[in-house]
Structure 1
Amino acid sequence: MARFKPVQKGLMLLPVDISRQIIPGSFEHALCYLVDHELDFSGLRERYRNDTQGAPAYDPAVLLKIIFLAYNRGLIGSRRIEAVCRQNVLFIAVAEDNQPHFTTLTAERDCLPCTLWTQCLRTPEKTKTRQVAFFQGKRDGYETHTDRMKRKVDSDQGRQMITRRFATVEPVFGNLRNNKRLDRFTLRGRSKVDGQWKLYCLVHNIEKLATMG
């Protein structure tokens, strides 16, 4: 009769020293050192007004560490980042046992810093954001963005350009595309895409500092 290794389904205690999970020479160690010693968060921390009232907030430095580590692991979705902060020991160590909600990690409240946001709301004393729907009717002879892009791709110059995009010409893009899973941007708008691209570049540079000094 075949024999199999025993399995354990009962209670198990796994002692974990969080401070020893961040190994010197790793990306996580370089990330924590740069964020803790080289960046100034005083401007961000001054924006909090919960000294006497309100719930304690997550430290901006901790949130930045989580975002950088997630991008380094190819994780972009806020819900996936929230899950690994609860399940992954390395993320728990970098987050210092903080488990922020996905709404804390995402940037869905872009209109809050705007000084004119109260003019866009019907009841600004009750709501903070508002969704606006814009319906555009059909116009004769109007060329959609999809048709316009299709025409460009089908041209001789477009075929040459699209062929070059299938090749990874530099190690930097190879690292971001294959290791960091940068196959698409998850944000819309030039400024937001530019910010997400710079996040990836910062992750790449921190990784170089960790491996090469």
Structure 2
Amino acid sequence: MFKNYTMNQLVLPLDLEVKLQTNDIAFHVHHLVESIPHEAFESFLRNEGCPAYHPRMMLKVILCAYTQSVFSGRKIEALLKDSIRMMWLAQGYEPSYRTINRFRVHSEVKELIRQCFVQFRCQLIEEKLIDQEAIFIDGTKVEANANKFTFVWKKSVDKYHQSLIEKSNQLYEELLEKEIMPEIEREGEDELSPEELAQMVQKVDEVVSDYDKKIEELQDAKDRIALRSERKFPKQAHKKLIDFIVRKRKYQKDFEIFGTRNSYSKTDHDATFMRMKDDYMKNGQLKAGYNVQVATEGQYALAYSLFANPTDTRTLIPFLDIIEQDYFELPKHIVADAGYGSEQNYDDILSNRKREALITYGMYIKEQQKKYKQNKFNAANWQYDEENDVYTCPNEKRLLFKYHSVRTDKAGFTRNFKVYECEDCSGCPFRSLCTKAKEGNHRKLMVNEKWEQQKEYVRTKLSDEKTGSIYRQRKIDVEPVFGFLKANLRFTRFSVRGKLKVENEMGLALMAVNLRKFTANR
């Protein structure tokens, strides 16, 4: 005996919601998108043409697909035909893959994604899943949707650009020397602009045209050969000048794309070449990618942003600005690893934002080692006389204060140093162990008092029981989010190009991670 099975009879219920489990992820997607204020969707309203799909429905469909590790527009379209949860969220509508792709890269969708993060955080607070005591910040590199060998390097472009400047200046001088063209008004003495090169082309072209007319008028073959010989240099110069203009404009465009970066990809101009951890060949291969910065609490991503620079140090301040401006007020503690530890970052958090920085610095772990503390040639272990402002080296020689030094980095941040110099290093038995300075030069010591105070502040905070436990939580809070993103969700490469589009996709992927974890915890 079998259970009744027939293909010719209508089966109830028709309401697809009944077929979903009580804690299905589709319900959480639905509630999250429905919590977004109505005003956020007003920018999508259009009075002309065919009525569009509702942006709430489109956002639900794409978010739900991302939670199932489906990122392709065509595969999302296929899910709308055979997935019960997708059918329920779309309420029978079946937008094409073109419509789906256009929607998720739309500039207005960025605001909807931001609202998703804001509303999701409010929900976490209501259910007391986060305590708003600290945020944990870290970054990861995600490969861009760009071809592998399409890199353009700033140093290489600069090298060829300098060569072009020299050649164009040299050709200009030759044309003046041979009186082929008169002197032109130049904006700068160092290089010729494309407009000035275009003026040179016009004047040289007039000279070549004059030669052509004279050659046509002459009957004698020898005279025509002589004129052709004279015309050779202006014709070659004309060809070179046109090539110079094309190259000059190309290099200028390259420098505009570079901005402050050192490289970019020809297939995704916003992507920068970075070293990725998934380097299977172990040969240091560079890939085009983006540096994704994420702020988490309770293993939930609460805010994110994308940056072009591969290092994390200079991303912290702009990322904190974005969090305060677009997401939420910063909590009391800001926690990050040693990659963010710098004088500028500490100064910004402690002085400007009035928050506590639980961020280690590069030498923090090494300073805890017994070998480091017992090394008598390490200047950090030297005896310091605060009253006389004097350091004493292992050979009992005094290092006296000499002068102040100010250094400015590429970002324009200035650091102040006090320079000390040994009174006499001659004949020191420890010289080879203490300094690499040449014979006759005395040992110098540069001390940044502000940096030393900041490091002491960090050591004090991390040795405290409460703040130390908050910092130790960093590894189990922010790192799992990247694991969920890349291993569980299998989101390891962007499927769109351009920073604005990539930001939308990253937001959808991180929110999909949040929804999956939230559903699993429920």
The two structures share one fold, judged by TM-score above 0.5 = yes
Q: Please give the TM-score of this superposition, normalised by the length of structure 1.
A: 0.61
Once the two structures are superposed, residues 140-165 of structure 1 have per-residue CA deviations (whole angstroms, 9 ceiling, x without a partner) of: x87x978x9699999xx974999xxx
Q: Choose from 465, 481, 489 the match for 1:180.
A: 489
1:199 alignment counterpart = 508
1:40 equivalenced with 2:349 (yes/no): no
1:61 equivalenced with 2:59 (yes/no): no
1:77 equivalenced with 2:72 (yes/no): yes
SS of structure 1 residue aligned to 2:23: coil
Q: Choose from 17, 23, 26 the match for 2:24.
A: 26
Distance apart, 1:21 and its partner CA:
3.4
Cα 1:151/1:27, change in 2 over 3 Å: closer
Letter in 2 for 1:39: I
C-alpha distance in 2, partners of 1:197/1:48? 25
Asked whether the 8 Å contact 1:86–1:92 carries over to 2, the reply is: yes
Letter in 2 for 1:177: K
Q: Choose from 99, 105, 108 the match for 2:100.
A: 105
C-alpha distance in 2, partners of 1:170/1:150? 20
Distance apart, 1:210 and its partner CA:
2.5
Asked whether the 8 Å contact 1:85–1:92 carries over to 2, the reply is: yes
C-alpha distance in 2, partners of 1:201/1:21? 27
Larger fraction in strand: 2
Asked whether the 8 Å contact 1:22–1:90 carries over to 2, the reply is: yes
Equivalent positions of 1:84-163 (< 5 A) are: 84-107=79-102, 159=284
Cα 1:99/1:170, change in 2 over 3 Å: same
SS of structure 2 residue aligned to 1:106: helix
Distance apart, 1:49 and its partner CA:
3.1
- The structure whose RCO (Cα within 8 Å, separation 6+) is larger is 1
SS of structure 2 residue aligned to 1:107: helix
Cα 1:190/1:211, change in 2 over 3 Å: same
SS of structure 2 residue aligned to 1:67: helix
| Corresponding pairs, count | 168
C-alpha distance in 1, partners of 2:21/2:286? 43
C-alpha distance in 1, partners of 2:27/2:106? 35
Asked whether the 8 Å contact 2:29–2:515 carries over to 1, the reply is: yes
Cα 1:39/1:173, change in 2 over 3 Å: same
Once the two structures are superposed, residues 88-139 of structure 1 have per-residue CA deviations (whole angstroms, 9 ceiling, x without a partner) of: 22210121222112221112897998xxxxxxxxxxxxxxxxxxxxxxxxx9
Letter in 2 for 1:94: L
Cα 1:14/1:185, change in 2 over 3 Å: farther
Structure 2: gaps spanning 5 or more residues? 109-156, 161-262, 266-271, 288-477
C-alpha distance in 1, partners of 2:54/2:106? 22
1:124 alignment counterpart = none
The Cα RMSD (Å) is 4.2
Distance apart, 1:185 and its partner CA:
0.7
Give the share of equivalent positions with the same residue, in percent: 27
C-alpha distance in 2, partners of 1:83/1:26? 20
Distance apart, 1:209 and its partner CA:
2.6
Cα 1:198/1:108, change in 2 over 3 Å: closer
C-alpha distance in 1, partners of 2:36/2:502? 23
1:212 alignment counterpart = 521
SS of structure 2 residue aligned to 1:34: helix
Q: Please give the TM-score of this superposition, normalised by the length of structure 2.
A: 0.27
C-alpha distance in 2, partners of 1:178/1:199? 16
Quick check: 103-112 or 186-195, which moved more?
A: 103-112
Cα 1:60/1:152, change in 2 over 3 Å: closer
Once the two structures are superposed, residues 9-68 of structure 1 have per-residue CA deviations (whole angstroms, 9 ceiling, x without a partner) of: 9546443421223433232111111111x2023342454234xx6433211111000010
C-alpha distance in 2, partners of 1:24/1:96? 18
Letter in 2 for 1:75: V
Asked whether the 8 Å contact 2:28–2:519 carries over to 1, the reply is: yes
SS of structure 2 residue aligned to 1:24: coil
C-alpha distance in 1, partners of 2:85/2:31? 15
In terms of Rg, which structure is larger?
2
Quick check: 27-36 or 190-199, which moved more?
A: 190-199
1:130 alignment counterpart = none
Asked whether the 8 Å contact 2:275–2:284 carries over to 1, the reply is: no
Letter in 1 for 2:515: I
2:46 alignment counterpart = 49
Cα 1:108/1:17, change in 2 over 3 Å: closer
